[in-house]
Amino acid sequence: MVSHLLGTEELDRDLEEFILEKTEGVPFFIEELIRSLKDLKIITRENNRYRITKDIKEVTIPATIQDVIMARVDSLPEGTKGLLQTVSVIGREFSYDLIKRVTGLTEQELLSHLSGLKDSELLYERGIYPQSTYLFKHMLTQEIAYNSLLLKRRKEIHEKIGKAIEALYPDRLEEHHELLAYHYARSANTDKAVQYLDLANQKAAKLNAMEEAKAYFDEAMELLDTLPETEENRERRISLLVNQGIVFLLLFKHQEYYDLLTRYEPMARGLGNPEPLGAFYARLGHCECSFGNYDQAIQTLTKAAELCEAAGNAEDAGYAYAWLGWSHLDRGDYDRVLALKEDVLRTMERQFNLRFHTHPLSAASRACSYLGRWDEAVEEGQKALSVAQEFSDNSLISFVAWNLSIAYTWKGDLARAVEYGELAVQKAPTPADKAWAQRSLGWAWCRAGEPNRGIELLTAVLPIFRAGFTASEIPLTCYLGEGHWLAGEDDKARQTLEEGLEMAERCGTRYYLGFAQRLLGEIAVKNNPAQAAPHFERSIAVLQEIKAENELAMAYAGYGRLHKKQGEIARARQYLTKALEIFERLGTLIEPDKVREELAELPEEG
């Protein structure tokens, strides 16, 4: 390697040993050390052979690769060195147009310095002048040049770069939001830094890059802490905070978001402006819904919708209505969910938002599934899926697909349930999307005859939901309980379902209260029939109240089996017949055949 770099096959023995001792054979170190030795004129060529020409003891030889590079930088002419330091602030790669605008050098001066840097092989050139771009040969060279600048000078150059990008791309600034945020955040211009961090945050959120979005948000909030507490900066903080609803949701950081919202609620109220306040309460209500605090969520979201409507803020009214719909859904108020769907779609006609267009359709699909209206459930879900696919939004495609998977699981179309569950997992771009998708797929597998496979998946995601997302933990716990029951693990099933029942009762999640009671009744029929009747009776009462017909039919069928086991054939026939009538009317699959078989097995009444 040394022979190649020096262009000779003959090396002085002392030089060989010196290079080996210094570099220990590290190729990059060898390359940079040789260039440094030549620049410092410590080695010279005589008769096609390089040798050491100075007493090594009398000269300072760089001891590390960093020292070697810094020595080479310091040996450059002052103007060339200054250019290298300046472009190191831009990054590893940069365009001719950008450095010309940042440096303010004449074309002749700039080309002369660039030529020197290319000759020294510190930079490479790509493309044809003047559309050239330049690249640091090694990242370490850029880092060392950057660190050689005083902090004040670095900040000045970062701001110059930000201004240059704004001047070069006035009509394409969105393409450069991240870069502008980076440079202004490292300059003394904190106002501009917050502005572009906010824009970069919103851009990342639209692309479902939620970790990046949150990083921009965190940095912007920290910088706002350094600015005066003016009216304008308070408005900026509340606006920034309001924009994080979906970011924190899809990262499952509800508690962190809720803590921020409650901390800054007095500030939001103090602005005296109904528009941002309505948007703020929409996010607060969304958190309350996620925690399973439905009464409080409905109150907060209703207030949010009223404030947004009064201010003409259609998009945030849509946000409030969407989460109001989910709150009513979990409470079992399905007619209210279907009515709210129309409210949201009406607001979307004024100001379209993809997420809040698909959310009410999916909530309506779930409501119809709870009611056993399968055709409508699938129709609403497919409408939402069509819109999500039209915009190629993988987060929403996943969201709609796992809701459709649940609808097909309830109906008994288990092949499609698994198909849509797998689609949801495949498309999921964020931790939350993936966890929701796995929950639906796991349950579909449980009912499709692979309970152990389903249990494994449901168990894996349970800790994610237990970290503060009670609204999603309740159905997951109930699905897992059913999975254990289908796998013949009665003790685990009972324990898990009792946990789900406790949460459902505490939060008022009526459907899953009925679901858990029914399954506890099924377990009791098998193991302790004397304790089964209260479970079925409570399940039937709740499911009748909310008109959840398919689940009600499941409870009737279980209650009929209990009566059969107790020898009460007439009562068994009565409840099994009720169940069959509902299943057939709804068009439910699988369950009608089971009930017909059970009815056929009943002895004739004498």
Q: How many angstroms separate the CA atoms of 525 and 528, rounded?
A: 6
Q: Are strands 123-126 and 133-136 parallel, antiparallel or unpaired?
A: antiparallel
Q: Is the pLDDT of residue 56 over 70?
A: no
More confident residue, 122 or 380: 380
Domain edges within the chain? 2-149, 153-247, 548-606
- 438-466 pLDDT, tens per residue? 999 999 999 999 999 999 999 999 998 98
The terminus-to-terminus CA distance of the chain in angstroms comes to: 102
Find out whether 12 and 45 touch, Cβ atoms under 8 Å.
no
Asked if the 548-606 domain carries CATH number 1.25.40, the reply is: yes
pLDDT in tens, 367-407: 999 999 999 999 999 999 999 999 999 999 999 999 999 99
For position 326, what pLDDT does the model report?
Answer: 95
pLDDT in tens, 339-376: 999 888 888 888 888 888 899 999 999 999 999 999 99
Mean pLDDT within 424-432: 94
> DSSP states of 88-110 as a string?
HHH-SEEEHHHHHHHH---HHHH
Q: Is the pLDDT of residue 68 over 80?
A: no
Using CB atoms within 10 A of its CB, is residue 422 exposed (0-12), middle (13-18) or buried (19+)? middle
- Which tops the pLDDT comparison, 502 or 43? 502
The class level of CATH for 2-149 reads mainly alpha
Which of 220, 214, 271, 223 lies closest to 245, judged by CA?
A: 214
Q: What is the dihedral of CA 4, 9, 12, 18, to 10 degrees?
A: 30
Mean pLDDT, rounded, for 38-48? 70
- At residue 384, the pLDDT reads 95
310 Cβ neighbours under 8 A, 6+ residues apart = 274, 278
Q: What is the pTM of this model?
A: 0.83
